[in-house]
Copies of this chain bind each other. A is one copy, B any other.
Amino acid sequence: MNTSTFKAVILAGGSGERFWPLSTPERPKQFLRVFGGASLIRQAVTRLDGLVSPKDVFVVTAKNLVAATRKELPEIPKCNILGEPMRRDTGAAVALGVGLAASDADPVIGFFSSDQMVANPKAFRKVVSKAVAIARRKQVIVTLGIKPTYPATCFGYISPKTRTFVEKPDAKTAKKYVKAGYLWNAGMFIARASTFRGAFAAHAPELECLTRFETDGTNRTDGTRSRSKAIAGGGLAKLYSALPKISFDYAVMEKSKNVEVVPGDFGWDDVGSFAAFDKYFPHDSRGNVREGPCTVVEADGNICVARSARISLLGVKNLVVVTTPDSVLVADKSRLTEMKRLFSR
């Protein structure tokens, strides 16, 4: 494969809420190192080795995370890492990513998350290559559909036959989807720059201008230059403030007819909450997962991460207990989906 015409955009926003206090608004989930040596964003880039060279990797992140992201990914050109002036969901982020990665050569651009796990990177690269090949020759947006390992209610699904996207289902519907061969929507999209642009123009015209965004005017020569320059010249924040908060799925994919699904089975996980620790760490004889100094007496099924003070558990069950120098979280495992409520007060 000619890697020069494939570019990768890593979407690296994140509020840092779901793994708080390990993650924070200043160090959201993609910087998490708890799953082994490398941070999730480091793993997300390394995983693409061989498919794309560092100069063709771009990152769309939050303005306040640009410095940390550049530090984490030193091999990527600094100007490839761009901070959005404010959060506007994945619709705007993808559009901006198209603007960032597009060139006159109309490259295939792949969008990937910065905070997901892939157990089998080799299989992942194979699937991505296949998707890139399709996207190069057809005017379609290719999405990777993950083969479900259980009837998850925390992911959207894609029907590979009808190529339709469906939102997160309830438990009963999830079972039906899995039985019907639906795949998990992992939020990975691959298409030519021109295809993305066309899709935005057709379905989300208010976002289309971002696909023509240029940071320094050096890589665009078409008639949009003047507009792009206007955006780059300090207009991005103003423009963003007027944009809708809308996901790429909702803005484009659910409406698009030219969608193709490539199924994948490479041990994907979006690591949505502390509950994922139960999957990735070994348990003691009573089902506790521990990192750091923890004393555990008559306690079962807890996730215990001691990053500062020693944690002592006595007679408690199914808790997530996390200590950092600033904060101590004590949450019932079944309530992790409500983490946000700790911050909205």
Contact = CB atoms under 8 A, between A and B. Distances in A.
A334 B319 contact: no
Interface in A63-103: none
A332 interface: yes
A113 B336 CA distance: 45
A314 B298 contact: no
Contact of A327 (B309, B315, B342): B309
Contacts of A336: 314
B295 A312 contact: no
B323 A328 contact: yes
A345 B298 CA distance: 12
A326 interface: yes
A310 interface: yes
Given A297-B341, A298-B338, A341-B297, A330 B313 contact: yes
A312 B335 contact: no
A316 B310 CA distance: 20
Given A338-B314, A341-B314, A309 B325 contact: yes
A316 B321 CA distance: 11
Contact of A308 (B309, B312, B329, B341): B309
Given A316-B332, A335-B315, A338-B315, A309 B297 contact: no
Interface residues of A, number: 34
A328 B342 contact: no
Interface in A114-157: none
A339 interface: yes
Contact of A345 (B21, B297, B326): B297
Given A338-B315, A341-B298, A309 B328 contact: yes
B329 A312 contact: yes
Interface string A150-175: 00000000000000000000000000
A331 B308 CA distance: 18
Contacts of A224: none
B312 A328 contact: yes
Contacts of A324: 309
A311 interface: yes
A297 B330 contact: no
Nearest to A297: B341
Interface of A: 21, 295, 297-298, 306, 308-316, 319, 321, 323-332, 334-336, 338-339, 341-342, 345
